[in-house]
């Protein structure tokens, strides 16, 4: 225990650049039992890997051993902190007062975590504890301390939204700390006259739960339609800001203890405006994304998310959702999983090694599936062997969608349509709390597209200064023809093309990822296809000074081969025969 007294009495000075997750990284979600898997998969990062169970010497030794073994194989190791699911740990941490920290509904009833319905600890259900409660925040810091007893390289936060998620979807939280916190938040943001226009006559005595009940709101109506009820949007803003403050506190505390910048991540699908708000606080996103395995087809939505986070300067370390893995476990379809892996890497993100996967159904609750290394390791080794074709690369395009929260649904729909039609595009984020748009974000694009609603006036002004046209998206037909045919694929309507280049590297080639997504569920494989791909010479000319007569083709499990390029005044094209899952065509360089 002397070790802890020495360690946590120090406030370290944080130096160094922020670490990054590279596009060729191979990420283990959890530390595997068999450490040989690190080598088999060519692993580089353990992304979501827990902490010491306690501060007892035995548990500290065990956790340090986990970190040391990962380091021995050359991997970075990210410890983790749980904002919601470690309910049992908090019950033990605060045995005489944990009930005061339980999230409460409008009537003061305790709330539990819905997806942990089959979990109990010392006879207690999985209570949802409030991240606004001082005792629970103290427990989060204690988790950080246990993660930092070893030389970790990063920190992951699970369920980072904490009480704000409970408030948005699950009926809470109306504990005393949330009600008092909201009152203080209102006082800080609004004057007396503004508050009166909201129906608040006396802010000093204001109680949001009492206020809602006076309007006829019940606990059931709050849960069903919270977003449409009086002051609910402000209440959620308060909860959101509180959660983000706790996330920042946790990361900063860990970096103080370790004395260096840590690779920061949170469990997030990164697929909604709410999920993206944490972007400025993290280095990458890491978590479950819906893949709709039960459709028996390759789901394209993750590709949109990969483009979206790229526009925020981030990357997604993805895995599928619990229902997806339950389907894979039941049907044993590793070939479907391979399509997910290839799609992630082809669009600039990563898919975590599927060695030990959390499965969930309402009927079975939590259960697990163990992936076979023979099914997946060759793909990950392929990525690592060709890391130079991934790291530092971004989407090559003339078109960029301007992302705003208001226009999210339009941009999402448009992006999915362009992905399906192989129209090159990028996404750039305009929301100020996620960095906003700078001059250098616009320079490389010829056409900017916005969804319905407005975009920030400073963005419109910047676009005018840079002489960039902003198009209102009105469907695919509103896109000028010159951008629709920059990529033409013949031979398959289920081939997806991802063109990528390396900014700041004049001699780097363009890489053209070709994903065959014609998946056959019965065979658990893609149907091989003969294809011709024709590319706009003008688009490639943004990067290449000259056009070679041949390109190099990299295919998992096969030696590199050359393919002839047919060059005309306006187009560059090539043919591939019997294309399986994935090929990378390297042009120039």
Residues 534 and 407 in one domain: no
Check: CB of residue 173 under 8 Å from CB of residue 234.
no
Of the residues 258, 283, 309, which one is the last residue of a structural domain? 258
Closest by CA to 324, choosing from 369, 379, 378, is 369
Residues 500 and 567 grouped into a single domain: yes
Confidence of residue 560 (pLDDT cuts 50, 70, 90): very high
Residue 190 lies in a domain: yes
Using DSSP's 3-state secondary structure scheme, residue 358 falls into: strand
Q: Which of 29-38, 99-108, 423-432 has the lowest mean pLDDT?
A: 423-432
Asked if 3 and 139 sit in the same domain, the reply is no
Same domain for 246 and 101 = yes
386: which 2 tokens?
Answer: 């060709």
Number of structural domains in the chain: 4
> pLDDT tens-digit profile of 212-266?
999 999 999 999 887 789 999 999 999 999 999 999 999 999 999 999 999 999 9
Q: Are both 478 and 491 inside the same structural domain?
A: no
Give the pLDDT of residue 434: 77
- Is the pLDDT score of 578 beyond 90? yes
My answer on whether 237 and 100 are in the same domain is yes
User: Is the pLDDT score of 435 beyond 80?
Assistant: no
Q: Check pLDDT > 60 for residue 173.
A: yes
Q: Would you say residue 62 lies in a domain?
A: no
Q: Are residues 135 and 242 in the same domain?
A: yes
CA atoms within 13 A on the CB side of 309: 32
Judged against a pLDDT cut of 60, whether residue 585 lies above it is answered with yes
* Nearest by Cα to 353 from 369, 329, 331: 369
Region 340-350 average pLDDT? 98
pLDDT (average), residues 119-133:
97
Question: Is 461 part of a structural domain of the chain?
Answer: yes
- Alpha carbons 536 and 489: distance in angstroms, whole number: 12
Domain termination site, one of 351, 368, 388: 388
Confidence of residue 14 (pLDDT cuts 50, 70, 90): low
Q: Are 98 and 216 in the same domain?
A: yes
Query: In this structure, what CATH number is given to the domain that contains residue 519?
Result: 2.60.40.1180
Residue 227 lies inside a defined structural domain of this protein: yes
DSSP code string of 482-543 = HHHTSEEEES-SSEEEEEEE-TT-TTPPEEEEEEE--EETTTTEEPPEEEEEEEEHHHHTTT
Confidence of residue 13 (pLDDT cuts 50, 70, 90): very low
DSSP 138-177: HHHHHHHHHHTTS--SEEEEESTTTHHHHHHHSS---SHH
**331 lies in the same domain as 253:** no
Convert the pLDDT of each residue in 36-88 to its tens digit.
999 999 999 999 999 999 999 999 999 999 999 999 999 999 999 999 999 99
Say if residue 209 is in the same domain as residue 92.
yes
The answer to whether the beta carbons of residues 414 and 421 sit under 8 Å apart is no
Looking at 467, 483, 499, which one is the last position of a domain? 483
Average pLDDT estimate for 541-556: 96
Which tokens is 21 given?
Answer: 């997750």
Task: Write the pLDDT tens digit of every residue in 190-227.
Answer: 999 999 999 999 999 999 999 999 999 999 999 988 77
Q: Residue 136 is part of which domain span?
A: 86-258
According to DSSP, the β-strands at 350-351 and 316-320 are parallel
Residue 478: inside a domain, yes or no?
yes
State whether 115 and 173 are in the same domain. yes
Residue 372 CA: distances (Å) to CA of 46, 123, 187, 338, 376: 18, 36, 57, 12, 7
Q: Which helix (H) or strand (E) holds 334?
A: helix 334-346
369/357 Cα distance (integer angstroms): 5
Give yes or no: residues 160 and 244 share one domain.
yes
What does the mean pLDDT of the chain come to? 94
> Domain for residue 164, yes or no?
yes
- Residues 125-145 have a mean pLDDT of 98
DSSP 8-state code for residue 306: H
Rounded to whole angstroms, the Cα distance separating 466 from 443 reads 7
Structure tokens at 344: 């992630």
Strands 27-28 and 45-46, bridge-based pairing = parallel
Banded model confidence at residue 15, pLDDT cuts 50, 70, 90: low
Residue 59 maps to a domain: no
In-domain check, residue 53: no
Give the confidence band of 3 by pLDDT, cuts at 50, 70, 90: very low
CA distance 219 to 200: 21
CATH of the domain at 404: 3.40.50
């Amino acid at each position: 225990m002397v070790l802890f007294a020495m360690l946590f009495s120090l406030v370290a000075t944080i130096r160094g650049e922020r670490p990054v997750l590279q596009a060729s990284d191979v990420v283990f979600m959890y530390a595997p039992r068999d450490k040989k898997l690190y080598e088999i998969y060519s692993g580089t990062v353990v992304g979501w890997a827990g902490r010491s169970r306690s501060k007892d010497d035995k548990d500290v030794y065990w956790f340090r051993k986990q970190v040391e073994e990962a380091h021995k194989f050359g991997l970075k190791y990210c410890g983790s902190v749980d904002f919601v699911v470690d309910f049992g740990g908090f019950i033990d941490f605060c045995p005489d007062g944990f009930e005061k920290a339980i999230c409460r509904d409008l009537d003061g009833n305790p709330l539990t975590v819905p997806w942990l319905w089959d979990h109990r600890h010392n006879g207690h259900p999985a209570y949802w504890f409030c991240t606004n409660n001082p005792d629970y925040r103290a427990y989060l810091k204690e988790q950080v301390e246990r993660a930092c007893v070893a030389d970790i390289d990063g920190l992951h936060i699970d369920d980072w939204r904490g009480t704000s998620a409970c408030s948005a979807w699950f009926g809470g939280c109306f504990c005393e700390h949330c009600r008092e916190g909201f009152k203080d938040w209102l006082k800080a943001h609004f004057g007396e006259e503004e508050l009166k226009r909201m129906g608040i006559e006396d802010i000093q005595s204001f109680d949001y739960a009492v206020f809602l009940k006076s309007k006829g709101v019940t606990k059931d109506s709050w849960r069903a339609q919270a977003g449409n009820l009086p002051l609910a949007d402000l209440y959620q803003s308060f909860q959101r800001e509180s959660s983000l403050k706790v996330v920042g506190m946790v990361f900063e505390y860990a970096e103080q203890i370790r004395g260096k910048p840590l690779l920061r991540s949170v469990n997030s699908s990164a697929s909604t405006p709410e999920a993206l708000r944490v972007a400025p606080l993290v280095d990458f996103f890491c978590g479950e994304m819906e893949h709709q395995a039960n459709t028996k087809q390759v789901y394209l939505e993750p590709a949109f998310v990969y483009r979206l986070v790229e526009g925020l300067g981030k990357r997604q370390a993805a895995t599928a959702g619990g229902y997806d893995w339950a389907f894979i476990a039941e049907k044993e379809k590793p070939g479907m999983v391979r399509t997910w892996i290839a799609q992630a890497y082809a669009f600039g993100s990563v898919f975590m090694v599927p060695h030990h996967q959390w499965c969930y159904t309402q009927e079975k609750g939590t259960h697990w599936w163990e992936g076979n290394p023979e099914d997946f390791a060759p793909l990950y080794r392929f990525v690592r062997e060709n890391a130079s074709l991934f790291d530092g690369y971004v989407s090559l395009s003339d078109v960029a969608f301007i992302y705003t929260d208001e226009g999210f649904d339009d941009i999402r729909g448009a992006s999915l349509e362009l992905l399906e039609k192989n129209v090159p595009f990028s996404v750039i984020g305009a929301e100020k709390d996620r960095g906003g748009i700078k001059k250098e974000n616009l320079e490389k694009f010829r056409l900017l597209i916005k969804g319905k609603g407005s975009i920030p006036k400073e963005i419109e002004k910047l676009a005018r200064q840079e002489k960039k046209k902003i198009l209102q998206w009105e469907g695919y037909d509103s896109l000028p023809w010159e951008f629709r045919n920059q990529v033409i694929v013949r031979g398959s309507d289920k081939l997806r093309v991802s063109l990528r280049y390396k900014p700041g590297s004049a001699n780097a080639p363009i890489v053209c990822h070709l994903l065959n997504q014609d998946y056959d569920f019965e065979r658990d494989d893609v149907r091989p296809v003969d294809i011709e791909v024709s590319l706009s010479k003008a688009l490639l000319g943004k990067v290449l000074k000259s056009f070679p007569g041949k390109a190099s083709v990299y295919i998992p499990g096969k030696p590199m081969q050359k393919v002839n390029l047919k060059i005309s005044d306006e187009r560059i094209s090539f043919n591939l025969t019997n294309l399986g899952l994935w090929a990378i065509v390297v042009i120039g360089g």
